[in-house]
């Protein structure tokens, strides 16, 4: 039994999501990520249950563990009630803890995700927040979002929201006392440490790649260079 495997088993998602895998491949057959990416959840679960630290380390540094969409379709279908999606979450968690995530292009994207999503939670109390959704980053949102962005206050008022308003309602300003509690929760339960670790490892990587923090953000957000697709 290896040290990395032991670390993984501390994660409740492994306790919940990994019983004996019979290698049937049902999860891979149902998996939307396996169809799109060079990705095979069956193999990943099998590597973890092999308890082989060398293989697990490779996994933690690989692109593969970042391909899953966490849809949990695999959980419904697995005949042994494993949850490859939960196993992936535990692997990602450990990869970030150990700084291995910066070894893969898809893993490096955690820098942008933490900035955007964790940033929105701490600043506004929402995971996603209209003021930070920019049409230039979301061309798929269409000309409609450009119009909404240009007329945000009016559009949300017309649609019954309470954008930055007092009291309840959609997109209300969440009171500072509540944001302070979220910050305390972040500090106490490891989310702040997670953000700091992601930033520290990412900035080391940025220096290695000769990029400023801003350039690194744009790079990981906009570019994918390697061939990830399952053609």
7-66 positions binding ligand SF4, by CB under 6 A? 21-27, 30-33, 41-42, 45
Residue 59 burial class via C-beta count within 10 angstroms: exposed 0-12, middle 13-18, buried 19 and up = buried
- The contact pattern for other proteins, residues 90-129, with x = CB under 8 A and - = no contact, is --xx--x---------x--xx-xxx-xxx--x---xxxxx
Nearer to ligand SF4, 26 or 104 (CB): 26
- Judged by CB under 6 A, does residue 128 bind ligand SF4? no
Site residues (CB under 8 A) for other proteins, limited to 14-43: 15-16, 32-33, 35-37
Q: How many CB atoms lie within 10 A of CB 196?
A: 11
Site for other proteins (CB under 8 A): which residue of 75, 98, 203, 211?
75
CA 215 to chain CA centroid, Å, is 20
- Judged by CB under 8 A, does residue 178 bind other proteins? yes
End-to-end CA distance of the chain: 36
Nearest Cα to 4, choosing from 68, 40, 45, 58? 58
- The phi and psi torsions of 37 (rounded to 5 degrees) equal -105, 165
Q: Which residues bind ligand SF4 (CB under 6 A)?
A: 21-27, 30-33, 41-42, 45, 68-74, 78-80, 82, 84-85, 88
């Amino acid at each position: 039994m290896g040290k990395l495997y032991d670390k993984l088993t501390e994660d409740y998602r492994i306790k919940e999501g990994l019983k004996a895998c019979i290698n049937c491949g049902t999860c891979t057959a149902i998996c939307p990520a396996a169809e799109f990416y060079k990705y095979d959840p069956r193999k990943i679960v099998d590597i973890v249950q092999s308890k082989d630290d060398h293989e697990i380390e490779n996994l933690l540094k690989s692109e593969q563990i970042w391909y899953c969409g966490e849809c949990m379709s695999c959980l419904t279908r697995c005949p042994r009630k494993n949850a490859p999606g939960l196993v992936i979450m535990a692997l990602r968690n450990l990869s970030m803890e150990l700084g291995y995530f910066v070894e893969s292009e898809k893993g490096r994207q955690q820098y942008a995700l933490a900035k955007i999503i964790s940033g929105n939670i701490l600043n506004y109390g929402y995971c996603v927040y209209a003021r930070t959704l920019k049409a230039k980053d979301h061309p798929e949102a269409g000309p409609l979002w450009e119009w909404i962005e240009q007329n945000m206050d009016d559009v949300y008022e017309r649609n019954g929201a309470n954008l930055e308003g007092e009291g309840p309602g959609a997109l209300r300003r969440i009171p500072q006392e509540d944001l302070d509690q979220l910050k305390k929760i972040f500090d106490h339960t490891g989310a702040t440490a997670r953000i700091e670790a992601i930033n520290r490892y990412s900035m080391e990587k940025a220096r290695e790649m000769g990029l400023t923090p801003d350039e690194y953000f744009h790079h990981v957000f906009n570019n994918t260079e390697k061939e990830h697709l399952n053609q």
